Amino acid sequence: MRPCWASSSASSPVVAGPPAQARARSSLSGALLLSAAVDKDLPTLQATAMVLGLLYMLIVLAADVAYRVLDPRIRLGAAA
């Protein structure tokens, strides 16, 4: 079975930039999570879910911090 990003002909090369690499990483973690669930590998399932959860929390935290920095109308601790 060929991966979905594989080229169908030799004349059309596969261009893999950062978005494609990020998509491949996320599909690998999803495949790991799925295979751990199917194989009933609880430690791998727990570790993968924890890492993905922490990654999600860090992304949300970075978005909140960036929003605070970029929007000068936001004041911390001010009464509404």
From CA 7, how far away is CA 3, in angstroms rounded?
A: 9
Q: Give yes or no for residue 55 having a pLDDT over 90.
A: yes
What mean pLDDT value characterizes the chain? 74
Rounded to whole angstroms, what are the CA distances from 10 to 5, 14, 24, 78? 13, 9, 21, 61
Question: Cα dihedral sign for 6, 10, 12, 18?
Answer: positive
Split at pLDDT 50, 70, 90, the class of 54 is: very high
Cβ atoms within 10 Å, residue 48? 19
pLDDT for res 12: 47
